[in-house]
């Protein structure tokens, strides 16, 4: 099966899992992420899909434990950057219970992961948000890219932009290259 078809199937399953029962698809995404035989791009996509489901603390603890035996530096960079930006670069007052809950979980799990410092972020996932309480509007964005082992140029990129207006939250766009 072509890699792009597998990637699209993974994201379709993530969207379906968000709507129905996230705890049913969590083990599928974790097994793809934890499988060193998978390509780094597929493992990063599985990690990002897992994070989009607002996983339970036991799953996040398994992710943290997995970083200590991780051999792929691109995957390790992505996990480090994703949890750090979610824990310390994401604004808490976003009016969404799942975002606030995930930020709290990331702040608890980030100290447990294996840190990687001083390395050019050739692969990564960055979470960012901003919320203006006086007008009741804000955004939550995800930017992800994965480089190959042979080059620092990203093989694939993903960007998602969610808007928050009062109690409503909607995806403005998703872009994958």
pLDDT tens digits, one per residue of 51-94: 888 888 999 999 999 999 999 888 888 899 888 888 887 654 44
Q: Can you read off the two tokens belonging to residue 3?
A: 């890699």
Measured over the CA atoms of residue 116, residue 47, residue 38 and residue 155, the dihedral's sign is negative
What is the average per-residue pLDDT within 128-145?
80
**What's residue 67's pLDDT?**
94
Q: Can you read off the two tokens belonging to residue 35?
A: 């499988």
- Would you place residue 122 in the very low, low, confident or very high pLDDT band (cuts 50, 70, 90)? confident
List, in order, residues 6 or more apart from 149 with CB less than 8 Å away: 40, 74
**In angstroms, rounded to a whole number, what is the distance separating the alpha carbons of residues 7 and 39?**
11
Q: Residue 76, SS3?
A: helix
List, in order, residues 6 or more apart from 165 with CB less than 8 Å away: 136, 137
Q: Is the pLDDT of residue 95 over 60?
A: no
**DSSP element (H, E) containing 156:** strand 154-165
**pTM, rounded to two decimals:** 0.79
Whole-angstrom CA distances from 95 to 130, 132, 156 are 11, 10, 31
């Amino acid at each position: 099966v072509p890699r792009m078809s597998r990637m699209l199937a993974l994201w379709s399953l993530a969207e379906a899992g968000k709507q129905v029962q996230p705890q049913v698809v969590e083990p599928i995404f974790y097994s793809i992420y934890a499988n060193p035989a998978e390509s780094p791009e597929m493992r990063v996509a599985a990690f990002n899909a897992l994070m989009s489901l607002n996983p339970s603390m036991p799953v996040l603890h398994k992710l943290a434990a997995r970083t200590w035996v991780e051999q792929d530096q691109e995957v390790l960079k992505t996990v480090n950057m994703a949890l750090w930006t979610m824990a310390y670069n994401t604004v808490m007052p976003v009016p969404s219970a799942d975002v606030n809950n995930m930020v709290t979980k990331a702040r608890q799990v980030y100290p447990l992961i294996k840190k990687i410092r001083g390395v050019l972020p050739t692969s990564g996932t960055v979470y960012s948000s901003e919320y203006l309480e006086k007008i009741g509007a804000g955004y939550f964005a995800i930017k992800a890219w994965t480089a190959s082992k042979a080059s620092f140029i990203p093989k694939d990129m993903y960007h998602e932009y969610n808007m928050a207006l009062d109690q409503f939250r909607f995806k403005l766009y998703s872009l994958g290259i």
